[in-house]
Structure 1
């Protein structure tokens, strides 16, 4: 029996660790799904005969899988359906389509397609908020990635045909069933302060706290949302959440576009994470988050795609590039967000937000071998002077050659290994007329 299940060698290694360590030529050893060593090539040479499998990473960057901390993968069914509307009007049309189309089976189908898109582009962990979380987990397992999800809280009748009264028990049962799973990070997921009452926001947090679960909510995405919450409760969104005692290190806030200085200080004080979703925020005309100010204040900023219905794809590389570039233009400061800061948003800071920094997010011994090999033998990749710069500014999702989850190769040569995607794609295409008719 081999000492190591897998060795990847001859790669440019971007660890994404706290020291931003890069190895010009080297790789990793993997045992029992976890990284055993991160070494240069000379050290690896003596270990190759002790491995069950050796993968040559020549011409590739080896890096940790990306972490998408805000997504609605099931909404891939509605890609491109609702266009050129601001968030509030857009949501009313989206919810009409979801109510007509979604059930457990269609949610699983849409999530399979959404997760496949992400895994093929090097995302190995997704925080996903959607109506049928059990089907979300099933889809993630079919494709081959980790998922952070859990029971939705939503006061009106939901697109899942459920009411607010049933949601606490659903959330409790979900946590009980998945709390011990390595590939699921359990959470409660109230939709937002404008769709969930203070009592139910607090109830969702109580359940999360009782089980050490995550707490994920949309927050301060638009000016209209801020005005609505201010008018109802006399406080802005972040102040409202803070007043209710909902902000701490297990709280992950999607968007955080419209914040004043005091609200940024509240996030820094409480340790809550802010998820930057630049593609969705730009496309819906929601605004540009104050990411440089958040970073300067010590707020943990992570990166998300939102759903394919608002951004039209689930491309974390586009989100990563915008996170690094957008704020330079908006602030007229070329140093507003560094490449190292941007990459951290999509890797180790995302892991820390999910309370999983000890398991994922970097290439370090003891962590799950969730890894990506990025092809750098293409016209847009040469010459390559600095690997992190290339990852942030030049890499495309089509550059992802191979993906590993806990050492299992889940993408090989740009193809899924667990699932033949032709069937799900054909099913979604066949549904298109019905989906289009849902908003007619």
Structure 2
């Protein structure tokens, strides 16, 4: 058994929170770059009668929350302090649903970028395609700073929160056998498959790695695996230098909710040195010769499974031979965050029950589907060479 989620549309929009200071410099012409954020959106239905909601899919959080029809932060309801134009948001009206219930328990979520939401928990019927899940638990945001509803599909914080997680509820509802899903965001219409793997979506081996904690290896709270090497690689294949502290292991968080990846301070230092940049910029944008950028890739070694991702994957705009390369500093030598600009290069499978993630190179030109239902181990997967280390 498996569930094919509705196609995910790639959404790009301007982000006013990102500095535009490098777009025009004194004495230089303006350059045609646009600052954008990227996320993946689809439509689901909530309540009775069903209310249509546009939602963002986020592997960096684990539960579903929606904007209330009376969100305090909407300009329409709070003309003094309101910050959101809620006419562009598909919101949920609890009072218009016959199947809605709530005990008014408080919920809150805060995101690393500064956005957040708070309100109360509720339950209602969630539906998409021919799937219908009664009494699905979700947050109703009475206040939020985000203009999207968010469907988190990451790792639940504990056993008590599994009824807030879509993958676990699909299993409880009898729609899938194992709490597993696979993601391909390499194309404009991304694919999300619950309970199965599509073999046509990747090329080469599918390697499985254990999840690890970002604070300590044992405290697993996010979709993170171990990286034993991160480094720039020149066009002749020679490694510049392993930037992991003392050549050790670091945690890599996989997050579809992040437009950009974030690298360790050691890697950022290596990047600056290789490209002859004197100091780190405030907004993490670097305007470089595209021909030189094309001469490098970044090596990511997942405990023995090494991938070389072209540095051009981290280019966010081009004007002639000038490329805008985005290299964010995570501020932590023990952790990196792999966002959309990395994840477009891979196909990955998340096993929330066994706390494992399988990764392969994405197939840029898949043909007919080869869907394999997961009832035990991930089909055709192999443990990374250093799985137990």
State the TM-score bracket (shorter-chain normalisation).
Answer: under 0.3
Using structure 2 for the length normalisation, give the TM-score.
Answer: 0.26
Report the TM-score, using the length of structure 1 for normalisation: 0.24
> Which protein is richer in helix relative to its size?
1
